[in-house]
Amino acid sequence: MKRAIFPGTFDPFTIGHQSLVKRGLEIVDEIIIAIGINEKKQTYFPLEKRLEAIEKLYKNNPKVRVMSYDSLTVDFAKSVDAQFIMRGIRTVNDFEYEKSIADVNRKLTGIETFILFTEPEHTHISSSIVRELLNYGKDISLFVPKETELY
């Protein structure tokens, strides 16, 4: 079984993330959406709310699990027997950052990272933009899956 983790803060999980999971399942048999806990990051939604929202979205899909972790991403990947780390990129700047991390992860553990490019209609969507809209009381329904009920 080919298993990948899809790590991130997912604060919140967007339709761009949802698209990446759908496309990732064409490559691997199972994806674990791995919510990283980073005490240095100020999040909008508490961890429990993010876990609940994503679990609700994928409740009928046995190929997707949702977990949280508080360690290096590669250590978490090894702990769940994932052979791959899946990442999405929107811009060239994202690529440089992700390549450096992928190289280190491969060197440390042999775990490969595969990158999916964000679909053009989603490149403008980021969790940080959605949080900014929330801070100003704007409607975010165009940017997050309706099943998550975050708006």
Instruction: Tell me which residues are annotated as active site.
Output: 17, 41, 90, 127
In angstroms, the CA 83 to CA 87 distance is 13
In angstroms, the CA 10 to CA 128 distance is 10
CA distances 10 to 13, 18, 67, 126, 131, Å, are: 5, 11, 12, 10, 11
For residues 30 and 65, the answer to whether their CB atoms sit within 8 Å is yes
Decide: residue 119, CB within 10 A, 0-12 exposed, 13-18 middle, 19+ buried: middle
Backbone Cα Rg of the chain:
15
